[in-house]
Amino acid sequence: MEVTGSIDKRWLRALVLLFVALITGLAFASGATPAHADDIGGQYDFQFSGNVRNNDAPLEGVLISVSGGGYSAEVKTDANGHWKIGVPSKDTYTITLDESTLPKGIIVVKGGNTIQAEFGLTNNKSVNFFLGAGVRETTSFLDQFIQRSFTGLSFGLLLALAALGLSLIFGTTGLNNFAHAEMVTFGALATLTLAVDLAWPLWLALIAAILLSGAFGFVLDAGLWAPLRRRGVGLVPMMIVSIGLSLALRYLYQYLYGGSTRQLPGADGKDLKFGAISLSPLDLLSMGISILAVLGVAFFLLRTRLGKATRAVSDNPSLAAASGIDVDRVIRIVWVIGGALAGLSGILFAFYRPGVSWDMGFQILLLIFAAVTLGGLGTAFGAVIGSLIVGFFIEISTLWIPSDMKYVGALVILILVLLVRPQGILGRKERIG
Amino acid sequence: MVDFWQIIQNAAVEIISPTTAAYALAALGLAIHFGFTGLINFGQAGFMAIGAYGYGISTLTFHFPVWGAVLVGVGGSIVFALILGIPTLRLRADYLAIVTIAASEILRLVFTTNTLDFVTGSADGLSGYKGGFAALNPIPKGTYGFGPFTMNEYDLWLRIVAWVIVAIAILLAWQLMRSPWGRVIKGIREDEDAVRALGKNVYFYKMQSLILGGVFGTIAGMIFILPRAIVPANYATTLTFFIYTILLLGGAATIFGPVAGSIIFWVVLSAVSGFIARAQAAGWFDFIGMSSVQAGQSRFIIVGIVLMLLVIFRPQGIFGNKKELAFVK
Amino acid sequence: MSSDAKPTRGAPVKSINLHVGEIEPGVAKVDAIIVADNVTRTFGGLTAVDVAHVEIPRNAITALIGPNGAGKTTFFNLLTGFDKPDTGTWTFLGKSLAGIPSFKVARLGQVRTFQLTKALSLLTVLDNMKLGAKGQKGENMFAALLPWLWRKQEEEIEAKAIVLLEKFKLDTKSEDFAASLSGGQRKLLEMARALMSDPTLVMLDEPMAGVNPALTQSLLDHILDLKTQGMTVLFVEHDMQMVRHIADWVIVMAEGKIVAEGPPDAVMANPAVIDAYLGSHHDQDLGEDDPETIHAMKELLDADDES
């Protein structure tokens, strides 16, 4: 029954690689010839539909995609050039005609291949593109690559904020906090309530939401985690408590805010062109804020007395306590910082998606964990690097794999990295004994 | 007025429902991982998905017979366990947690993607695979049972098969855990270095445990889809966490705990959500402005809170013994 | 057993003339069970172990001493396969052990205990003991389902375990969880469990740490008894009285290197050893802290004081 360690490890590793190759291969192979119905999302009440014709000749097999409010779907036109897509809510959606699927020599001549559409009084809306003869301007692979890189950087940076908080909390308390997702959602929901429901000015709502998020971190620690630490509850039970908390909070949000996606003010900014890259001022602002926040945390950890104490507690809590550091106070502050960072990350994510929904944090929880693990559990700067890699990889991978599989790539990378370098990129090797 | 008799009847149906059996079996698999070996598997939903899709795809796309479809699912879960275990079982326990949860999400996304619609049915899932199982039914057509337990021949056949499988799994787990193999497994939960120092190949034992519990989860996934269709959204991480709640309810390192936990979980959940829905309709919750949609959502909030309270105040579960408090440190 | 109980035997019989030639660090032994060469292990930039050459004499009791952070436990971990060295080779009974995983090292007859006792708390004392036995048929998952294959062997193992438990005066506790034992009893249990595998070499990492004085004598007797049964003992210890009392040979480590070795009286008379490695550091017990961490933490706090 016994198999020698080195041999089984080798062939099993080969097995893993084979499996990953298989998945990727599948995605690639089928990505080339996607199987689509001409009618999708029939279960929803709201329907977009249209006919794709060139001089009254119907065009078959043209790819149409709809996205908005965190929802996306795509269909191909049928033999009559007809298509129909159902969507979950009565919001504004972006509808795109993939010009590469048009016959040669035919392009969208007027209005561009992207249309912003919203429903009128009815639940149906027809969307048509104006086609004609012409030469298509294609975005070169390099330009797409650069564009995606920037989007990825922006996403990676907002992930980094959440990951930093998670990593600091893990470092100082050893807790894998699954409820971190709900701390992310909290920031976005707080902004929504203040800026939309109470109609505060956006800048004031944002500041207040970040402060509230910090306070939320404080309350969670003071009300739940600190008492559990005092009871001497182990790390695994604490992790399961955080899972219960995550479930309870997430559905409480759904209970209070409902299941729909709502927009924050200012989410529909115009894009600016920088050569090949088109970015909205909001993207730039979001990246700027993220970078400032990351630098702020770095300054805190490296230069302030409290930050040094935080690192000392991360390294060795008992030794830190023995050298006169108030460990409980450090942990309390880490929760406040972690909460504020998560809240900020949630706000930026609400603009990035765009939209605020009750489970938005949960949608990226695994990516945050992947980033923290990739960088090295408990290393703050590893979390930032891990987040950038995850964000970048997710966006770049959509150049090759279907966009509804983009999270798969990041998670596969996580598993592959653990295979080669289990301690993560910046992590230290564990010492046994 | 609130019809309490109806609520009780609806709840009683859950005692023998195939869904309860499926969750019990999945929780028993998790008991082997978490309660006995100390492996934190957060991917039990993934193992169940492999059972569901392994069975469904082999039947619909490849026209396998029932036994062939079952073998495909079981084989798939063994490969999945190997892939999860190889990189992580030598590392600290939390790595397995992160990798298993990531892998089960990968599976769900792969099963959901439009790209693979022709085999997986993407977001709409699969149905129409029950013929082979129904054809094996020796029970003549008719209506069986009494009161709330009235059912047709398919439902009766399904319940018998589901609970016989659960009984066999319990016997297997019980015999294993009282054998020297079980002693090594429990030793690993307590301190794997100590077991290593006694000359046992800890990695190998952890892998066996991961595979065994995973196969239990996979078979549970097959039972789970026989009364319903395969829908990828069912295999989100929330499913895994429900199974953890069931496991901790019954007692993590007990053999009968998962079954008792599953029955209690489904009966109480049905009763509570039935009560909230009817009470809301009767206007009892108007003072907090609860809508009927909110009444439906409140049960998940309750599950979350119960999970927290269980872990904090009764970590050994309802049936676990405080002294042998079966909890991984 | 009370603390003033007389030892059951007279002064222990010391093994002498273990070495060949001049006594110096790395001296050759007449009959060596372990021979290690150029074993190094670094953590970050810090060298934890740097042993050029050492031999452990067979059928004798050897003590490994030195101040905290000297690399004793790390060296133990390397020899038993619980940690991997950066460089080096070592043999056990002439068989090279470099790169061999810990569980195989144990199967070869070289078993160890841990500084922080690893009793398996939620297993009964008897189950702890049974786990120690080698070559159990019922530990195969498929055989486990067929109890008639292993029931007889299980009975033999149980009988052996009960004999050992009686010897270690734990027989009355056999059905209790190991968690209910006192610290000293756990040390005894760990040692008894190691003996279930009939080892050739027993490696004890601080067997006396945290043990109630009432149990000390009993532990010492058990260690001496191992030698009379033909086993070899290598142990890490702080308590000089104990080392002097039972060890046949003493090896002194400091800063990862072997700095002195010899019979106990000779080593302890060496003033350099006393001053540098035993006297000045003896009270600074920081437990198991990673030396690198301590170093980093000191730096952090020093920097704080300046700012």
pLDDT one-digit tens code per residue, C167-194: 988 999 999 999 888 888 888 999 999 9
**Residue with structure tokens 């479809």?**
B69
From chain C, the residues in CB contact with B180 under 8 A are 130, 136-139, 144, 150, 154
Q: Give the pLDDT of residue C4.
A: 42
Which helix (H) or strand (E) is A278 found in, with range?
A: strand A277-279
Q: DSSP letters along B11-55, please?
A: HHHGGG-HHHHHHHHHHHHHIIIIIII------HHHHHHHHHHHH
Report chain A's terminal Cα–Cα distance, integer Å. 28
From chain A, the residues in CB contact with C294 under 8 A are 319
What are the backbone angles phi and psi of residue C218, rounded to the nearest 5°? -60, -45
Chain B within 8 Å of C124 (Cβ-Cβ)? no
ipTM of the complex: 0.86
- In terms of CA atoms, which chain C residue is nearest residue B198? C132
Alpha carbon distance A117, A126 (integer Å): 9
Is B196 in Cβ contact with C131 (below 8 Å)? no
Q: What is the mean pLDDT of residues A280-290?
A: 87
Is C140 in Cβ contact with B172 (below 8 Å)? no
Residue-wise pLDDT tens digits, C103-115: 999 999 999 999 8
Say yes or no to pLDDT of B20 above 90: yes
Say yes or no to pLDDT of B26 above 70: yes
Q: Which of residues 131-160 of C touch B (CB under 8 A)?
A: 131-132, 134, 136-141, 143-145, 147, 150, 154
Q: Which of A318, A423, A432 to mutate to test the interface with C (most CBs of C within 10 A)?
A: A432
Q: Give the pLDDT of residue A19.
A: 55
- Interface A–B counts its CB contacts (< 8 A) at 174
Q: Name which of A168-177, A402-411, B270-279, C134-143 the model is least confident about.
A: A402-411
Alpha carbon distance A240, B40 (integer Å): 10
Alpha carbon distance C305, C290 (integer Å): 23
Of B181, B189, B324, the CB nearest to C144: B181
Chain B within 8 Å of A21 (Cβ-Cβ)? no
Report chain B's terminal Cα–Cα distance, integer Å. 48
Is C139 in Cβ contact with B200 (below 8 Å)? yes
Q: How would CATH label the architecture of C1-119+199-307?
A: 3-Layer(aba) Sandwich (3.40)
Residue of A81 and A197 predicted with greater confidence: A197
Say yes or no to pLDDT of C266 above 80: yes
Chain B within 8 Å of A369 (Cβ-Cβ)? yes
Q: Name which of A16-30, B246-260, B265-279, C253-267 the model is least confident about.
A: A16-30
Q: DSSP letters along A153-218, please?
A: HHHHHHHHHHHHHHHHHHHHH----TTHHHHHHHHHHHHHIIIIIS---HHHHHHHHHHHHHHHHH
- In terms of CA atoms, which chain B residue is nearest residue C193? B198
From chain A, the residues in CB contact with C82 under 8 A are 432-433
Q: Give the pLDDT of residue B326.
A: 44
Q: What is the mean pLDDT of residues C44-56?
A: 86
Distance from CA of C224 to the nearest CA of B (A): 22
From chain B, the residues in CB contact with C112 under 8 A are 197
What tokens appear for A376 in the block?
Answer: 């090295």
CB burial of A401-418 (b: ≥16 within 10 Å; e: otherwise) equals bbbbbbbbbbbbbbbebb
Contacts of B85 (CB under 8 A, 6+ apart): B96, B206, B207, B210, B211
Is B195 in Cβ contact with C150 (below 8 Å)? no
Residue B208 · residue C141 · CB < 8 Å: yes
- In terms of CA atoms, which chain C residue is nearest residue A431? C83
Chain C within 8 Å of B147 (Cβ-Cβ)? no
Q: What is the mean pLDDT of residues A195-199?
A: 92
Residue A52 · residue A97 · CB < 8 Å: yes
Is B114 in Cβ contact with A73 (below 8 Å)? yes
Say yes or no to pLDDT of C204 above 60: yes
Alpha carbon distance B304, A242 (integer Å): 9
Q: How many degrees, rounded to 5, is the angle at CA A377 between CA C298 and CA C121?
A: 85
Residue-wise pLDDT tens digits, A124-179: 778 888 777 766 556 677 888 888 888 899 999 999 999 999 999 998 998 989 99
Q: Which of C285, C304, C305, C307 to mutate to test the interface with A (most CBs of A within 10 A)?
A: C304
- In terms of CA atoms, which chain B residue is nearest residue A17? B83
Residue A167 · residue A379 · CB < 8 Å: yes
Rounded to the nearest angstrom, the gap between the alpha carbon of residue B178 and the centroid of all alpha carbons in its chain is: 23
The percentage of residues in chain B with a pLDDT greater than 90, rounded to a whole number, is 62
Which helix (H) or strand (E) is C53 found in, with range?
A: strand C46-57
What tokens appear for A202 in the block?
Answer: 């956006």
CB burial of A94-110 (b: ≥16 within 10 Å; e: otherwise) equals ebbbebebbeeebbbee
- In terms of CA atoms, which chain A residue is nearest residue C48? A431
Q: Name which of A231-245, A314-328, C179-193 the model is least confident about.
A: A314-328
Q: Name which of A140-154, B218-232, B249-263, C92-106 the model is least confident about.
A: A140-154
Chain A within 8 Å of C135 (Cβ-Cβ)? no
Distance from CA of A330 to the nearest CA of C (A): 15
Half-sphere exposure in the Cβ direction for A369 (13 Å, CA): 27
Distances in Å between the alpha carbon of B284 and those of A393, B165, B289? Answer: 51, 42, 10
Q: What is the mean pLDDT of residues B67-88?
A: 93
Is A319 in Cβ contact with C286 (below 8 Å)? yes
Alpha carbon distance A176, B97 (integer Å): 10
Chain A within 8 Å of B5 (Cβ-Cβ)? no
Distance from CA of B51 to the nearest CA of A (A): 18
Residue-wise pLDDT tens digits, B162-179: 999 999 999 999 999 999
Chain A within 8 Å of B233 (Cβ-Cβ)? no
What are the residue boundaries of the structural domains of chain C, listed by start?
Answer: 1-119+199-307, 123-180
Chain A within 8 Å of C141 (Cβ-Cβ)? yes
Q: What is the mean pLDDT of residues C89-100?
A: 90
- In terms of CA atoms, which chain B residue is nearest residue C81? B197
Distance from CA of A168 to the nearest CA of C (A): 17
Three-state SS for C254-277 is ECCEEEEEECHHHHHHCHHHHHHH
Count of CB atoms situated within 10 Å of the CB of B168: 12
Is B201 in Cβ contact with C120 (below 8 Å)? no
Mean pLDDT, chain B, whole residue set: 90
**Residue with structure tokens 């001549």?**
A109
Sign, Cα dihedral of C227, C229, C230, C235:
negative
Distance from CA of C116 to the nearest CA of A (A): 9
- Residue A313 DSSP SS3: helix
Is A433 in Cβ contact with C293 (below 8 Å)? no
Task: Using alpha carbons, select from B184, B202, B268, B215 the residue that is nearest to residue B7.
Answer: B268
- Interface A–C counts its CB contacts (< 8 A) at 43
Q: Give the pLDDT of residue C276.
A: 57
Q: How many degrees, rounded to 5, is the angle at CA B219 between CA B81 and CA B27?
A: 80
Contacts of B238 (CB under 8 A, 6+ apart): A247, B45, B300
Alpha carbon distance A333, A226 (integer Å): 12
Distance from CA of A40 to the nearest CA of B (A): 10
From chain C, the residues in CB contact with A308 under 8 A are 300-301, 303-304
From chain A, the residues in CB contact with C142 under 8 A are 1
Q: Give the pLDDT of residue A38.
A: 58
Is B197 in Cβ contact with C131 (below 8 Å)? no
C partners (3+ CB pairs within 8 A) are A, B
Tell me how long chain A is: 433
Helices B237-250 & A235-257 angle (0-180, nearest 10): 120
- In terms of CA atoms, which chain B residue is nearest residue C109? B199
Say yes or no to pLDDT of C16 above 90: no
Chain A within 8 Å of B40 (Cβ-Cβ)? yes
Alpha carbon distance C205, C247 (integer Å): 14
A partners (3+ CB pairs within 8 A) are B, C
The percentage of residues in chain B with a pLDDT greater than 70, rounded to a whole number, is 97
Residue-wise pLDDT tens digits, B257-279: 999 999 999 999 999 888 988 88
Task: Using alpha carbons, select from C270, C198, C256, C192 the residue that is nearest to residue C23.
Answer: C270
Chain C within 8 Å of B202 (Cβ-Cβ)? yes
From chain C, the residues in CB contact with A312 under 8 A are 297, 300-301
Alpha carbon distance A403, A70 (integer Å): 12
Residue A232 · residue B282 · CB < 8 Å: no
Report chain C's terminal Cα–Cα distance, integer Å. 56
Chain B within 8 Å of C83 (Cβ-Cβ)? no
Chain A within 8 Å of B87 (Cβ-Cβ)? yes
What does pTM read for this prediction?
A: 0.81
Cis omega (within 30 of 0) on the bond before B140?
no
A106-120, B288-302, C1-15: which has the highest mean pLDDT? B288-302
Of C114, C136, C193, the CB nearest to B180: C136
- All domains of chain A in start order, with CATH: 9-31+142-420 (no CATH), 38-138 (2.60.40.10)
